[in-house]
Amino acid sequence: MDPTCLDNLLAEEERRKFNEEGFLIVEDALPPAMIERLSGVLDRFYAERRAEGMKSHEAMFYPNFIGKDPAFFDLLDWPKTFPKVWDILGWNIFLYHAHCGVTPPIAPDAPRVRKTLGWHQDSGRVNVEMESHPRPRLSLKIAFFLSDVSEPGRGNFYVIPGSHLQDTLEKPADGASDPPGGMPVCVKPGTAVFFGRRLWHSASPNGSDVTRKVLFYGYGYRWIRTKDDMEIPKELFEQCDPIRKQILGAGLNCNGYFSPSEGDVPLYTWLKEHLGEEKVGSLRK
Ligand SMILES: O=C(O)CCC(=O)C(=O)O
Ligand SMILES: [Fe+2]
């Protein structure tokens, strides 16, 4: 990992925003050439799904994609974003879940009735079976936007700022409007949006003529089970450096997910070498 990434640690203002609002917008995380490259791969996935029978105007949800193109590996420890991940969660982390998606405009003749969006916190049963208030953070996702969602109505990602400490969300009885505070995240291509799994959020329909393209990278603690088949071809995995292998779930043995030794967490060793033991010790605990 290139040490110049240390220029992109979480700034205090960013930490405050993430802690208080539950999400964080990082503009210009991806340069135009990278956006184009990734966008081309998503176009290919979409064309493949269409050829397999997916209907036109249908939104494509595509998990298990990391192993499908080398460009996806570069985002695992992307210098503009990854330092902020370990600065929030610490070093005992991996990619527990990733998915990408293409949301084309809805069909011109589709009924445009307003419906309450699909508001949720991430991680399914975790929210039922874990007994604490507020719910534990556990993981976060980065949404890398490849298309222009700088205006509402383009299949934007919706959030309720500051809702991450709230265990329940009252949905309006009319079945049409959204809970107070719900807002579209309007950002340009190349923007990375970090959000903790507890933030109440939702996808939304795309009523514009701009197809939405986005990648979601979910990082969590190594003792969390994967939510993604994450089939990585052996030869591509072998080419990864030790930190990428950690991010992809490598470890010495099962005990090491809970009580890691340095061989389990090359990210820890790297941080110790580059930041010093004291700073690493102060990272999430
Ligand atoms: O597609 C979206 O805008 C929302 C995706 C989502 O809910 C998630 O990745 O957790
Ligand atoms: Fe979600």
Q: Tell me the β-bridge partners of 196.
A: 140
> Does residue 285 register a pLDDT over 70?
no
**Residue 201 C-alpha to ligand 1 middle, in angstroms?**
7
> Does residue 50 register a pLDDT over 80?
yes
pLDDT digits (tens, 9 = 90+) for 199-209: 999 999 999 99
> What is the structure's pLDDT at 255?
97
**Residue 105 C-alpha to ligand 2 middle, in angstroms?**
21
Determine whether the shortest distance from the Cβ of 46 to ligand 1 is under 6 A: no
> Does residue 284 register a pLDDT over 80?
no
> What is the structure's pLDDT at 23?
98
Domain assignment present for residue 284? The answer is no
> What is the structure's pLDDT at 71?
95
Structural domain tally of the chain? 1
Q: What is the pTM of this model?
A: 0.97
Ligand lying closest to the C-alpha of residue 204: 1
Atom 9 (ligand 1): residue with closest C-alpha? 216
Domain assignment present for residue 87? The answer is yes
What is the CATH number for 59? Answer: 2.60.120.620
The 10 Å Cβ neighbour count of residue 133 is 8
**Residue 238 C-alpha to ligand 2 middle, in angstroms?**
31
pLDDT digits (tens, 9 = 90+) for 211-252: 999 999 999 999 999 998 999 999 999 999 999 999 999 999
Determine whether the shortest distance from the Cβ of 201 to ligand 1 is under 6 A: yes
State how far the Cα of 225 lies from the Cα of 236, in Å rounded to an integer.
Answer: 22
Please name which of 160, 185, 157 lies closest in space to residue 21, comparing C-alpha atoms.
160
Please name which of 214, 65, 60 lies closest in space to residue 145, comparing C-alpha atoms.
214
Please name which of 15, 61, 43, 51 lies closest in space to residue 203, comparing C-alpha atoms.
61
Cβ neighbours for 282, distance < 8 A, ≥ 6 positions apart: none
Domain assignment present for residue 23? The answer is yes
> What is the structure's pLDDT at 116?
96
Cβ neighbours for 59, distance < 8 A, ≥ 6 positions apart: 101, 102, 103, 104, 155, 203, 206
Give the position, in ligand 1's atom list, of the atom nearest the Cα of 197.
10
State how far the Cα of 209 lies from the Cα of 141, in Å rounded to an integer.
Answer: 27
Q: Which domain holds residue 101?
A: 3-279
Ligand lying closest to the C-alpha of residue 103: 1
**Residue 186 C-alpha to ligand 1 middle, in angstroms?**
14
Domain assignment present for residue 285? The answer is no
Q: What is the mean pLDDT of residues 82-97?
A: 97
pLDDT digits (tens, 9 = 90+) for 6-38: 999 999 999 999 999 999 999 999 999 999 999
Give the position, in ligand 1's atom list, of the atom nearest the Cα of 218.
9
* Structure confidence at residue 124 as a pLDDT band (50, 70, 90): very high
Q: What is the mean pLDDT of residues 124-152?
A: 96
- Mean pLDDT (the chain) is 96
pLDDT digits (tens, 9 = 90+) for 152-189: 999 999 999 999 999 999 999 999 999 999 999 999 99
